[in-house]
Amino acid sequence: MTARDPVSACAPGRVELLGNHTDYNEGVVLGAAINRFTRVSGKRHPRVIRIGSTSFGQVQINRTALRPVSETRWANYVLGVADELRELKVPVGGFSAEITGDLPIGAGLSSSAALEVATALFLLKLFPFDLSRLEIAKACQRAEHRYLGVKSGLLDQVISLFSRAQQAVLFDSRTEEIRAVSVPCSLALIISESGVRRELANGEYNVRQSETQAAARAFGVRALRDLKSAQIDRRADIPALLRHRARHVVEENERVRRAVELLEAGDAREFGKLMNASHESSRRNFENSTPELDLLVSMAQRLPGVLGSRLTGAGFGGATVTLCERSVAEKAAKQLAADYTTQTGIKAPVFVCEIADGAR
């Protein structure tokens, strides 16, 4: 390859199967990459950084003037990653890049992380440098913190980088252990977008982060990871809101651990029940669901062959994930889309996805 050759990299979106808002509380999470991708392609440029996207247009800055841009926030994912790689001594110079792909944007399927990860792999090919996948994930996360002001955990980047076809990824955000857990071939995942856009930076996500940190302080633990659900009941003196937030995170951690045992034992039915319980806890304790997500979940739970359903990712809009017997998944997805449109008038995509390999 010469310096002028075009290169390209592609990264998948993800679903969070269980472990809602646990990652920034040093907890555990179970997720999987989906077969919808963001691709970044392009080549070196002597003077500028030029980024084009069919959905958003074009941005160009001088290659020596890396900084967040306020008018075209979407470009900050790319610029932030370029900046973070430079901090790690990657010799990122000028380049022109085109963003394409079939991963829905802003639907709660982690289009942000997919763009960051695809950008990182693209730049590391263009300006060759050796970084481990975990270092790449963390650089992408820092880019999101610094350039977008969203204090997201590491879940999305880890799943996008480490996933394997037909396997879920267990990520322990304290020990940084990453483990593959097989998902039986007889099961399928249905993704349903609620059609309500989610803008993490709009605040609710960061608010939940402060609340869970306040809860950890109130319970006297380093992080909610260190709390057990039985301890919550004994502390009626702590404000109800903090107890509810803590309960969600603590029980999500417990559900993830149980879910791994269940998946390893091939017990999909019980696994599905944990997904239902997770959604219920989002609704009541964490208050990160919406009427549209609740509707999708309750409609899905009534369909034949469905084992469990919940919101996936940050919440406050976005999408749901439903575990279904593969033999009836297409039928269930069609039914769910039709029922949702009838009830709300919203035409939002519902599709059966495969668990895909990570970014490459």
H/E run at residue 32: strand 28-44
Output 20 or 285, the one with its CB closest to ligand GLA: 20
Beta-strand pair 48-53/95-101:
parallel
The C-alpha atoms of residue 160 and residue 248 are separated, in whole angstroms, by 25
Pick the closer one to ligand GLA by CB: 44 or 133.
133
Q: In the complex with ligand GLA, which residue's Cβ is closer, 21 or 44?
A: 21
| In the complex, least distance from residue 315 CB atom to ligand GLA, rounded to whole angstroms | 7
**In this structure, are strands 167-172 and 28-44 parallel, antiparallel, or unpaired?**
antiparallel
Based on CB atoms, which residue is closest to ligand GLA, 157 or 167?
157
**What angle (nearest 5°) sits at the alpha carbon of residue 112, between those of residues 209 and 198?**
60
Nearest approach, Cβ of residue 309 and ligand GLA (Å): 16
Phi-psi region of 21 (alpha: psi -120 to 50; beta: other; left: phi over 0): left
Residue 131 phi, psi (nearest 5) = -135, 145
Compute the least distance from the CB of residue 240 to ligand GLA, in Å: 22
Q: Which is nearer to ligand GLA, 99 or 114 (CB)?
A: 114
Min CB(245)–ligand GLA separation in Å: 13
Q: What share of the chain is helix, strand, coil (3-state, %, to 5)?
A: 45, 25, 30
User: Does the active-site annotation cover 172?
Assistant: no
Q: C-beta of 169: minimal distance to ligand GLA in Å?
A: 13
Judged by beta carbon, residue 45 or residue 73, the one nearer ligand GLA is 73
Given a contact cutoff of 8 angstroms between Cβ atoms, the answer to whether 216 and 223 are in contact is: yes
| Other C-beta atoms lying within 10 Å of the C-beta of residue 280 | 14
- Helices 240-264 and 268-281: crossing angle, nearest 10°? 170
Residue numbers at the binding site for ligand GLA (CB under 6 A): 16, 20-21, 23-24, 110, 152-153, 155-156, 313-314
Q: Are 336 and 296 in contact (CB under 8 A)?
A: yes
Q: Which residues make beta-bridge pairs with 44?
A: 95
State the residue number with the nearest CB to ligand GLA: 153
C-alpha–C-alpha distance, residues 45 and 94, integer Å: 5
List the catalytic residue out of 23, 83, 156, 172. 156
Nearest approach, Cβ of residue 27 and ligand GLA (Å): 9
In what helix (H) or strand (E) does residue 188 lie, and over which residues does it extend?
Answer: strand 187-193
Residues carrying an active site annotation: 156
